[in-house]
Every structure is written in C-alpha cells, then in structure tokens.
A and B are shown apart, each in its own frame.
Chain A
Amino acid sequence: MTARIQLRDKEFKVRSGMTIRSALLQLNIQPEAVLPTRDGELLTDDEILQERDEIRLIAVISGGAY
C-alpha cells in the first residue's frame, strides 16, 4: 500500500490512505514550500493518497533574483 512522492531528483515512498499534508509533514517537507501535482494537475493537500499514486511536488521558494 504505497504511493510515491517526488521532489526535484528525490523520490519518497509513503503509505497510501493518508493525506498529502500528513505525508509531507512526516517526510519533513514544508507544506507551504511546495505544490502537489498528479499528472500535471494541481491538488490541495487534503487529498488522500491512493495506492500507486505518483505525486510530483513543485518547489515554490525562490531566492529573490531581482
């Protein structure tokens, strides 16, 4: 019962059945600093992870390149 979460070149395996937000907190990823997507579609982080889900996280922090 696993789902996969990718962030840049890292991939994490997590249990399905919990919300994306709980999975992020468990992985020590700040929910505020990423946007979860599935098949390119944006998701809210209360979405429950399904078996074999592949979630790609988009990092949103930028360094202020002005």
Chain B
Amino acid sequence: MKCRKCGEKAVIHMRQHKLALCKNHFLDWIPKQTQRFIHDNKMFIPEDRILVAVSGGKDSLVLWDVLSRLGYQVDGLYIGLGIDGGNGYSAESRRITERFAAEHKLDLIIYDIEEHEGLDIPTAASMTRRGRERPCSICGLSKRHIMNRVAIENDYDVLVTGHNLDDEAAVLFGNTLNWLTGYLQRQGPVLPNRSGLVKKAKPFFRFYERETAAYALLRGIEYIYDECPHADGAKSIYYKVLLNRLEADRRGAKLSFYLSFLRAKETMVFTSEGDDVERMLHPCTSCGQPTSTPDLCTYCRTWKEVRDRRETVLEKGIES
C-alpha cells in the first residue's frame, strides 16, 4: 500500500478515512488534524495556559508531544496513585513521564496522593465499602478532583486529557446501553468552565486508538505498555472489543457512532436534566469545589470515610 501524498510505502492505513500514509506524512497529519479539532471545537488558543493530565500511557504522552510541537504552552500533571500490582505500575509510569518531560524540557507537576492523603489508592480502596474488589471508583473520582484542583489553583485556562475516539465511543456505548441521559448530556469533546470547575478538552477525540499508538511508535515515544493491573476485565475494554467487531465489518462504524451522537446532541435530543444538576451545585463545605451532593463533595466524603475507617482499624489494633 502506498502513501496517498507521496507514493512511498505506507506504514498505516486508516480504513475509516480510506487514507494510507508513510511515516513522515503520518507524523505531519496527526498534529495538523489535532490543530483542526482544537480550532473547530474552540478548545483553546495559543495564549491559553494548558494543563495536560499525563498517565505515562501512550495517549497522554502523545498529546503532550503534539501540543508542544504545535507551539502551545502546555505543562503536565502526573498523579501518583501508588499502584504496584506486581509490575510496579505507578513507579514505572512515573519514571516514563518524568523522563519524557526532561527530554522535551517540559514542566511537570507531580501530585502524589499518598503524600497528600496519607494513603495510596489501593490501601484507601480496601477501606471503602465499594472499593474492596476494584479500586477504580475511588481512583477515578480522586483523579478527577485533583486534576481540577491543580488546574484551578495554578490558574490554568484549560485541562486537557488524551481520550481518543475508542475511549469516547466506549463511554458512549455504556451510557447508551443504560440510557444515562445525564451523562449523555455532559459527554463531549469540550466541557466549558463553570464556577470552580476548569474548562476541559479532549483534542484527540477523533483519533482511533491505533493512530495514537502508531504515532508513539513512529516518534519513538516510550510509554507504559502494560496496563494498570486493575483495568483488567474493565467494562470499557469489553465495549471497545465489541465496537472493534463492528468496525471490522463496517469501516468507520466507531467514528460515525460517536459523531452522529454529537450531532444528535446539537439538535437537543438530550435536554433540561443537566440544567437541574447545574442549579443544584454548591461549594463543598470542606474543599470548596462545586458539588451536587449535600455538605461534602464525593471526594471529601470518600476520603473522610477512608480515614475514619483507618482510625477504627488502628484503634482496634487489627492489621489493615
């Protein structure tokens, strides 16, 4: 197969676009497309200060690389979760992220959960009722909370994440299967800022996962290949597999599933409910972040529960 632009040997064929490209043209195409998505969706402008959430995985590192190649002022935020899982997941992803930042002379903020909260994610999860099997619930809510807090406290204009089309389509699939209209209404490539909540954007929302992986490979970006051990068996992965089955039979199925959702949303298929949630927001009595739950936000409430439980455990002298 030949590159559509120069006729050299292609390294990737993007069937949904009927487009094959050689290495050089692909490495050009990704930033150009990204710039178009940023502009068309009014994500941010060159004057904005951008914070990218970096996990050490391919998508977030590639995003950081592409945005800095495009000339944006973009700093990284790495959140230390303290997950070992037998393969030293957190330690390794931190090493990779720090190395990337150093090599590219980019600024990286490290936020270690254990340093701030006294416990790492797996230990904290073992102390919650919901988290005994899988720490993803406390992990996810902590990451969302911390990303927002760090962005607000350091005056960033926008927080960006490396979510790709496969991530977005999988979430959409889950939300649609259960008709979670509230979530559907808030799902999209850009979330505007509201009081206490930073603007969020996903500049890679139209790239297939294999495209960001190919970019990492071709640019020689080292990323953490082995998943967080807790992702194993996650629903999102199951949905991705199902969507890839559709894609194999009908090229572009994933992309059109997501893009037609965005179009449907514009015509106001999902209305009103979000406004109610919005009206109910008030500041958390402990941290001040907006929340719809009474008194404490979910983050503060969950971590309070963890600390209380830990104290009981320590008092009783039971090994935790």
Q: How large is the interface on B (under 10, 10 to 19, 20 to 34, 35 or more residues)?
A: 35 or more
Q: Is the interface of A mostly helix, strand, loop or mixed?
A: loop
With the chains together, A25 CA to B247 CA distance in Å? 13
Verify B10–A62 contact, CB threshold 8 A: no
A46-B213 contact in complex given A32-B244, A33-B244, A41-B11, C-beta closer than 8 Å:
no
Contact with B along A50-66 (1 / 0, CB 8 A): 00000000111111111
Is residue A43 contacting chain B, with contact meaning CB distance below 8 A? yes
Verify A63–B227 contact, CB threshold 8 A: yes
For the complex formed, measure the closest distance between the CB of B102 and the CB atoms of chain A, giving whole angstroms: 22
Verify A61–B166 contact, CB threshold 8 A: yes
Verify A32–B143 contact, CB threshold 8 A: no
A60-B227 contact in complex given A42-B214, A46-B13, A66-B162, C-beta closer than 8 Å:
no
Contact with A along B130-143 (1 / 0, CB 8 A): 00000000001001
The residues of B that contact A66 with a CB separation of less than 8 Å are: 53, 55, 60, 140, 143, 161-163
Interface of chain B residues 256 through 294 with chain A (CB within 8 A): none
The residues of B that contact A60 with a CB separation of less than 8 Å are: 58, 209-210, 212-213
> From B232, which residue of chain A is reached at the shortest CB distance?
A63
> From A24, which residue of chain B is reached at the shortest CB distance?
B248
Q: Interface size (A, Cβ < 8 Å)? A: 24
Verify A63–B10 contact, CB threshold 8 A: no
Is residue B45 contacting chain A, with contact meaning CB distance below 8 A? no
For the complex formed, measure the closest distance between the CB of A41 and the CB atoms of chain B, giving whole angstroms: 7
Q: Which of B104-112, B181-189, B234-242, B303-311 contacts A (4 or more CB under 8 A)?
A: B234-242
With the chains together, A24 CA to B295 CA distance in Å? 54
The residues of A that contact B76 with a CB separation of less than 8 Å are: none
Verify A61–B209 contact, CB threshold 8 A: yes
Interface of chain B residues 53 through 89 with chain A (CB within 8 A): 53, 55, 57-60
Verify A32–B208 contact, CB threshold 8 A: yes
Is residue A37 contacting chain B, with contact meaning CB distance below 8 A? yes
The residues of A that contact B241 with a CB separation of less than 8 Å are: 30, 33, 61
> From B217, which residue of chain A is reached at the shortest CB distance?
A42
With the chains together, A64 CA to B170 CA distance in Å? 10
Verify A30–B248 contact, CB threshold 8 A: yes
Interface of chain A residues 24 through 40 with chain B (CB within 8 A): 25, 30-35, 37
Verify B248–A58 contact, CB threshold 8 A: no
With the chains together, A62 CA to B223 CA distance in Å? 12
Verify A63–B237 contact, CB threshold 8 A: yes
The residues of B that contact A58 with a CB separation of less than 8 Å are: 213, 217, 225
Is residue B12 contacting chain A, with contact meaning CB distance below 8 A? yes
Chain A contacts to B: CB under 8 angstroms: 25, 30-35, 37, 41-47, 58-66
**For the complex of A and B, 4 pairs with smallest distance between CB atoms:** A63-B231, A60-B213, A32-B244, A42-B11
Q: List 6 A-B contacts (CB under 8 A).
A: A42-B11, A62-B58, A62-B59, A63-B231, A65-B231, A66-B162
